[in-house]
Structure 1
């Protein structure tokens, strides 16, 4: 049987990708809770779904098979035993502690017979006005708080890039930076452990959601079958990179080097792929603000502990050396206009999804960056994103490639 995962670059022809169509979790966003749920605004769900469907259809029209997180998760819960196990972990991680409250919530979820509907409800969260919990003599049940939810929604789920990452034929099941997002990785755990497509060839984990340091998929770029780039960022800890590197070198024979980009711990640069993405063998989008003071470390594959060195060359020379190229081209987000660069980076102008070498999906709302990409010979597939972008993520953030073609 062919391995169901195969990602040895960020630009190889995209054959299969996992998305999550935004659901009712977005309708459970409220102004008072936006910051804790990592949103800056409230998307209009109907329009967000239309934009996301346009994105999915754009991929299908280019021959990409689109699969959905919510479908895979539902298919993974193929027995009552697995479903109960998932629900127990889900409620534990949703911090439902009141004895009676938890009992009634558990009964509510178990009453949902359709597994896909069950998954959708776990993603949407649970409002207190959906049903009444009996108040008994348990203190944790009796004491009310002001939160309108028994279980918070998971509005970031449509950014499928973050919770796990495919590297080669293995998976990094990530430890999310924010407490509010950590339940999201539970779906990945059950998909890779229980979905029929992975039963004949068990998945090797390069990282696990139980680790004690944070790591997110938006910081992981597969540049070539030999080289990864990983961001040291707001969302990914430097210690996580060392742990991941050792496992990559142990489990994935082709990878020889990891380049760690220190982009700083700021929200606007939350992940490496918000400021730097690969669009062709020798072309990269880049946000001008990270260029001048960017520090890059190389992690080399050696016996025992990986060897780490701080690189002193320019980013261009570093990439040329490790990617074995005579030259590279940087396509600057917003061009040379720093005002445009800041605005278009905020709207994910640097966050491209390559569907093949020199062919990418972009938001249509970043005209300067898109023009620069076209001037560099890159083929663009523009998608609308007025609502999707409110979650601060672009086409790459919203997609998790499962299968890419090998590079020539």
Structure 2
């Protein structure tokens, strides 16, 4: 199938056509215990096994007819023009907080020696000080951080491609990430959309700008369908960002008319909305039972003259979903059935984070076997992937994927 626009996502469950992944690489080997908190990791994945698991994930998608595009390949193609490449290097160094002229000159020379593919790999992996032959050592900034091992920090969260950007209809939200550690990731998507042959000549609406002052991340954005989005007010996405995104979507003329803003707990285990709530069929959803009690939902609806109405919903989650999606009934499938022990354990390993590749057909982690069994009992087809190392980054199959084309719901 083809569309006028190379981006087309109008639902969470329409058959998946094209997706962007990032195959883990040496950025994971540049994680150390002292850096884990700064770089948003709780553990250090074993790279060789993480690659094997990720390759199995990609092959699972390909076997279902999904086109798999890799982030590193896309950005390498996008900077093939020497002028674009030079701009990209300069922007990347600024994003990496390289302000010292001597260090910037050294790094520019280091990057210029690399071909496009190697340049991207090194940027993603981070630059150790011992990789540079001539480091300027007289700046105050260098002397203060002399024992720090990196000139440029690694980007180990890259394999969670869901977060830096989100495709909504035929537009894209280029997100402003919550932390400096991850905000560099959005630069790749900016250049891909602007300079890659597949996207550069399309008239793609920018629905959110990475230069915004408040944070928004893709894991909080769910395209439920029927003109409705669900967005989490979370640890990583702020209420102001969600209202701004809603207004931009309504003004852009996209087919969406309602945003449901889920106010979820602001803590690590509930990092994004999609870690506690995902859509798996027209009327079926996975959910972590702990958000049901304290959950508050606000509806943002499009009014005439580009105005919006914001209303706190007083109904249950089931009734809110039935109301806005036009459903007669809704099935909420609780992570591990809501068991007080199995539920939190499997939630920690993203038991509620499923990637729908078609209605009622999802990709899940093998380690969440209690939840997977319950999904099967509810008529959901599961494609089970290996998860010992990938799960250490605290993200599941949905987190690791950025759909750019889905078929519309049948």
Name the TM-score, length of structure 2 as normaliser: 0.97
Contact 2:7 2:404 (8 Å CA) reproduced? yes
Can you give the 5+ residue segments of structure 1 that lack an aligned partner in the other structure? none
What is the match of residue 22 of structure 2? 20
For 1:147 and 1:106, the matched residues in 2 are separated by 20
Task: Check whether the contact 1:16–1:65 (CA below 8 A) recurs between aligned residues.
Answer: yes
CA–CA separation in structure 1 for the residues paired with 2:217 and 2:135: 39
Alignment partner of 1:230 is 2:270: no
> 1:113-161: per-residue Cα shift (whole Å, max 9, x none)?
x211111111001001112334465444555432100000000000000
In the alignment, what sits opposite 2:257?
Answer: 256
Tell me if the contact between 1:288 and 1:338 (Cα under 8 Å) persists in the aligned partners: no
Of 142-151 and 295-304, more deviation after overlay is shown by 142-151
Moved more, 19-28 or 197-206: 197-206
Equivalent position of 2:399 in the other structure: 397
Task: After TM superposition, list the pairs within 5 Å mapping 1:25-44 onto structure 2.
Answer: 25-44=27-46
Contact 2:169–2:254 (8 Å) recurs in 1: no
Partner of 2:336: 334
Distance 1:361 1:266 in 2: 25
* Contact 1:135/1:142 (8 A) holds in 2: no
The answer to whether residue 331 in structure 2 is matched with residue 324 in structure 1 is no
Q: Give the aligned length.
A: 407
In the alignment, the residues of structure 1 paired with residue 94 and residue 295 of structure 2 have an alpha-carbon distance, to the nearest angstrom, of 40
Mapped pair 1:278 → 2:279: yes
Q: Distance in 2 between matches of 1:137 and 1:9?
A: 54
Moved segments of 4+, more than 6 Å = none
| In 2, Cα distance between equivalents of 1:24 and 1:231 | 31
- Kept after mapping to 2: 8 A contact 1:34/1:40: yes
Are 2:288 and 2:338, in contact at CA under 8 Å, matched by a contact in 1?
Answer: no
Alignment of 1:7-406 (within 5 A): 7-112=9-114, 114-135=115-136, 137-141=138-142, 143-302=144-303, 303-406=305-408
Contact 1:214 1:237 in 2 (8 A): yes
SS of alignment partner, residue 279 of structure 2: strand
Root-mean-square deviation (CA, aligned residues, Å) is 1.2
Change (3 A) 1:258 1:101: same
Q: Could you tell me how far apart the structure 1 residues matched to 2:46 and 2:118 are?
A: 21
**What does the per-residue CA deviation read over 1:79-106, in whole Å, with 9 as the maximum and x for residues that have no partner?**
1110010110100111112221221111
Change (3 A) 1:104 1:322: same
Deviates more, 1:13-22 or 1:89-98: 89-98
For residues 336 and 74 of structure 1, what CA distance do their matches in structure 2 show?
Answer: 45
Cα distance in 2 for residues equivalent to 1:253 and 1:130 = 48
Q: What secondary structure is seen at the aligned counterpart in 2 of 1:197?
A: coil
Whole-Å separation in 1 of the counterparts to 2:358 and 2:23: 23
TM value normalised by structure 1? 0.98
